[in-house]
Structure 1
């Protein structure tokens, strides 16, 4: 009788072991997919940070950003009934920045 119980326990443990092995394989596959996704994300983040750093160090891009901001302010001015004098000042700043941007690009050639 003891042998029968041990054989039954061994069969139960074998089935349980197979189930756990299957789960382990599935989790291993999921872990590998997760690692690949993290590696891709890290590569993208690194690339984006390098591009951002290059742009931040690029004076021409900084000037272009200023122009974009001033154009946005001018657009807002049209909707907020800003004084004509202030609009004119903003237009002059945009013109000056555009000239600076052209000079910046010219120095790259």
Structure 2
């Protein structure tokens, strides 16, 4: 499972970097989103992929019977998802405004100082 997640993280990073190098602002924003998702999966993988073992001590027990999943990584990912949703919503509004004002989403045309 860890190898599969590592391949998915690599694919997300590669496609995100590919989109960051494009000329369109929309593709740049999608590239940042893919990098964020790849980072979330990387943190999840680093926290340990444990199937079916919640970090709960059984009734009457004093220790875990098996190594549990790390709840800190999951809480960090949940926070990152909420923050990235807000950033993406803000970026979509900015992209819409730039496209409406300039008439293009090409980065080279936005650098022009001509009206």
Tell me the TM-score range normalised by the shorter chain.
0.3 to 0.5
TM-score (norm 2): 0.34
| Between structures 1 and 2, the one with greater helix share | 1
Instruction: Pick the structure with greater CA Rg.
Output: 1
TM-score (norm 1): 0.36
